[in-house]
Amino acid sequence: MSKHPIRLAVIVGSTRAGRLGPTISRWFIEQARDHGDLEIDVIDLAEAELPADLGGRLADGSYASPEVGAYAARIAAAEAFVVITPEYNRGYPAALKLAIDSVYTEWKAKPVAFVSHGGQSGGLRAVEQLRQVFAELHTVTIRDGVCFPMARDRFDADGRLHDVEGPGIAAKLLLSELLWWAEALRRARAEQPYGF
Ligand code: FNR
């Protein structure tokens, strides 16, 4: 066990009833636990209760509700992010945009990787849009991700993945790149605060 494991937040981006997102998230967390010593926080946006008017932060810097404060503290504590996103009508879910926009400085100078799921596209169009959004938040987005086309058909009724090999290899690459950046940016932030 490392003395200072990387604190990884896994964000479940879909919130609708009957969603596949938590199944994908459980699969990814198994991969992450096998990969190395990580402290994992699962942020399920269905439970975050973020106000839709973006009224999260008050003029004095405090948070408008305990829910926003708790969410902001979890984003601030994380040193790396994996966003699990479906694709809805060629974009990413509105709940995910709300979660991204509800905080700002908490994202800065940290790496973000993507696990996407969809129909034909596997969610890749949602991921490309998310890369543009996360650029504004001074994050580093990770080149390699995991993508599940026709995602619902890939898991059995107990949430087990049918074809484990390809996604497993993709998850390893994602995690290796993400942790490289997480370690590098942890050192860099400690050496010189990111003041932009
Ligand atoms: C979809 N889906 C989808 N898939 C895709 O590849 N391109 C798309 O544009 C869409 N559009 C779309 C719109 C809406 C409203 C829904 C509900 C679904 C399929 C979807 O991405 C896929 O089933 C995901 O795995 C759904 O994830 P959740 O919401 O079940 O977690």
Q: Quick one: pLDDT at residue 55?
A: 64
Q: Quick one: pLDDT at residue 52?
A: 86
Q: How far is the CA of 191 from the centre of ligand 1 (A)?
A: 42
Domain assignment present for residue 12? The answer is yes
d(CA 144, CA 10): 16
**Eight-class DSSP state of 44:** E
Q: How many CB atoms lie within 10 A of CB 131?
A: 14
Domain that holds residue 141: 6-191
Burial 61-74 (b: 16+ CB within 10 A, else e): eebeeebbeebbeb
Q: Name the domain count of the chain.
A: 1
Query: Which atom of ligand 1 has the smallest separation from the CA of 120?
Result: 6
Q: Quick one: pLDDT at residue 1?
A: 60
d(CA 139, CA 151): 27
Please answer whether residues 28 and 146 qualify as being in contact, where contact means their C-beta atoms are separated by less than 8 angstroms: yes
> Nearest to residue 94, comparing CAs of 55, 126, 131?
126
**Mean pLDDT (whole number) for 20-45:** 96
To test the ligand 1 pocket, which listed residue (19, 45, 87) has its Cβ within 8 A of the most ligand atoms? 87
> Nearest to residue 145, comparing CAs of 107, 169, 115, 178?
115
Burial 160-190 (b: 16+ CB within 10 A, else e): ebeeeeebeebbeebbebbbebbeebbeeee
- Residue 144: which CATH number? 3.40.50.360
Query: Which atom of ligand 1 has the smallest separation from the CA of 13?
Result: 31
Domain assignment present for residue 116? The answer is yes
Q: How far is the CA of 87 from the centre of ligand 1 (A)?
A: 5
Q: Quick one: pLDDT at residue 29?
A: 98
d(CA 169, CA 27): 13
Q: Which residues line ligand 1 (CB under 6 A)?
A: 14, 16, 19-21, 86-90, 117-121, 151-152
Q: How far is the CA of 53 from the centre of ligand 1 (A)?
A: 25
Domain assignment present for residue 97? The answer is yes
Domain assignment present for residue 196? The answer is no
Domain assignment present for residue 1? The answer is no
To test the ligand 1 pocket, which listed residue (24, 25, 44, 88) has its Cβ within 8 A of the most ligand atoms? 88
How far does CA 40 lie from the centroid of its chain? Answer: 11
Domain assignment present for residue 22? The answer is yes
Mean pLDDT score of the chain, rounded to an integer? 94
Query: Which atom of ligand 1 has the smallest separation from the CA of 123?
Result: 6
* pLDDT of residue 50 exceeding 70: yes
* pLDDT of residue 36 exceeding 90: no
Please answer whether residues 45 and 178 qualify as being in contact, where contact means their C-beta atoms are separated by less than 8 angstroms: no
What tokens does 93 get? 């879910």
Instruction: Give 57's pLDDT tier (boundaries 50, 70, 90).
Output: low
